[in-house]
Amino acid sequence: MLLCLIAGFAILKKSSSTKVLLEADPVVIAYNTIEQSNSTAYKGKSIYQQNCQSCHAINKIMTGPALNGFTKRGPWIKKENIYKWIHNPAAFMAKDSYTKNLQKEYEVIMQAFPQLSKEDIDEIIEYIEYASLPQSSLPASMP
């Protein structure tokens, strides 16, 4: 009985999150089993959707750059820099030419998120890394 309830809830949750992703970023549709395969990334997904998705997509340039594989470029190789950037982009940019150049290209300064903890940011990073995986590397059961 309890198992049925849990399974039912999981299916409900799954279908609602898939719908949101459908509208937002078709490339991410394949990841609708994220909550089963990576719970940290799953937590990060909702924080990302609430805070980042209005300006960023994984594979498409929007108000801000596409975030696919961003941890492998520029200052983001060092995780500490990602925390500093998200907490205060303007302050980070003042001392960093990589992000200063991005700002020239995108013509706006990214909003600051001082309220996000390092743990929240770790979860966002985990989600972005998960969503950046080539689709061919995902389990065959995914659509």
On the CB side of 81, how many CA atoms lie within 13 Å of its CA?
Answer: 14
- The 10 Å Cβ neighbour count of residue 134 is 6
Query: Which residue's entry shows tokens 């994220």?
Result: 34
CB of 134 to ligand HEC, least distance (A): 19
Binder of ligand HEC out of 108, 115, 136, 137 (CB under 6 A): 108
**74 binds ligand HEC, rule: CB under 6 A:** yes
Binding ligand HEC (rule: CB under 6 A), the pick from 46, 88, 113, 138 is 113
How far lies 30's CA from each of 60, 89, 103, 131, 137, in Å?
Answer: 16, 31, 31, 9, 11
Can residue 24 be called a binding residue for ligand HEC (CB under 6 A)?
no
Q: Where do contacts with ligand HEC occur on this chain (CB under 6 A)? A: 51-52, 54-56, 63-65, 67, 70, 73-74, 76, 86, 89, 99, 102-103, 106, 108-111, 113, 124
